[in-house]
Amino acid sequence: MDTHAKVPFLIVETGQPVASMRRYGGFPHWIRVAAGLEADETVVSNVERGDALPRREGFAGIIVTGSAAMVTDRADWSERSADWLRSAAHEGVPVLGICYGHQLLAHALGGEVAYNPAGRESGTVTIDLHDHAGQDPLFAGLPTQFAAHATHVQTVLRPPEGATVLARSEQDDCHAFRWRERVWGVQFHPEFATHHMRGYVHARADHLRNEGRCPGTIARGVTAAPQARKLLRRFVRHARGLQAAR
């Protein structure tokens, strides 16, 4: 029996899905399912609601969710979480940030987050991996181009010092980065299935129209993103391996 199999992952919950999608549960549930984790293999801390973050010891890794909040608002709960994540990163705890979590990690580690000059990115997008992603523990072996689901208006304009940018899209030059050896951020949503992505396009339809985009066309362009979805299981497997080697 693997004595490490049940060491939990901490999911830092930074926000809720759009109202129309909450019937499918919250981000921690979506992440847990996509990551192949059992309920007793995760602990959730809802920092947006005011939950205190626990001691970092005793977790196989940390996953930070997306949010409708903006990192640039510097909300108290967000800044406290950034401080906590900075310490976790420097201590060598494996961390994966998704969307807001990606941006929050970049901010925590000294990067720059702001509104994307290219505008809102929404729908199934093409991720282009840089050549050096082929040596990354999470991205190695993936196609150099693959589909992923994205919905965001802010982005990492400048990654933290010591970070390696791993991927880009047509609208975003920093869709994934690794900081040192055990911290990753991805702007896309590996936990999204097609119904999540279509739901977000419909929920943001007015914003998209106001920006000259056609939500119907974007929704029809939503496709499965199995390669992107692999990132969560790869992170879990890698973090488990690091734990076993301690």
Q: pLDDT of 41-68, one tens digit each?
A: 999 999 999 999 999 888 999 999 999 9
- Residue 238 CA: distances (Å) to CA of 136, 196, 241: 11, 26, 5
Q: Which pLDDT tens digits describe the chain residue by residue (246 residues)?
A: 344 458 999 999 999 999 999 999 999 999 999 999 999 999 999 999 999 999 988 899 999 999 999 999 999 999 999 999 999 999 999 999 999 999 999 999 999 999 999 999 999 999 999 999 999 999 999 999 999 999 999 999 999 999 999 999 999 999 999 999 999 999 999 999 999 999 999 999 999 999 999 999 999 999 999 999 999 999 999 999 998 887
46 in Cβ contact with 27 (< 8 Å): no
Q: Whole-model pTM?
A: 0.96
Domains within the chain, CATH numbers bracketed = 9-115+154-192+226-244 (3.40.50.880)
HSE value, Cβ hemisphere, 13 Å, CA-based, for 11:
26
- Residue 185: which of 78, 64, 32, 74 has the closest Cα? 64
Identify the three-state secondary structure at position 96.
Answer: strand
Residue 181 has φ and ψ, to the nearest 5°, of: -115, -10
For strand 163-168 and strand 121-129, is the pairing parallel, antiparallel, or unpaired?
Answer: antiparallel
What type of residue sits at position 113? Answer: V
Check residue 5 and give its pLDDT: 52
174 in Cβ contact with 159 (< 8 Å): yes
DSSP state of 105: H
Burial zone of 230 (CB within 10 Å; 0-12 exposed, 13-18 middle, 19+ buried)? middle
Residue 15 to residue 175: CA distance in whole angstroms = 20
**Residues annotated as catalytic (active site), given as ranges:** 99, 189, 191
Per residue in 24-40, pLDDT (tens digit) is 999 999 999 999 999 99
HSE value, Cβ hemisphere, 13 Å, CA-based, for 106:
29
Residue 243 to residue 246: CA distance in whole angstroms = 5
Residue 196 to residue 32: CA distance in whole angstroms = 15
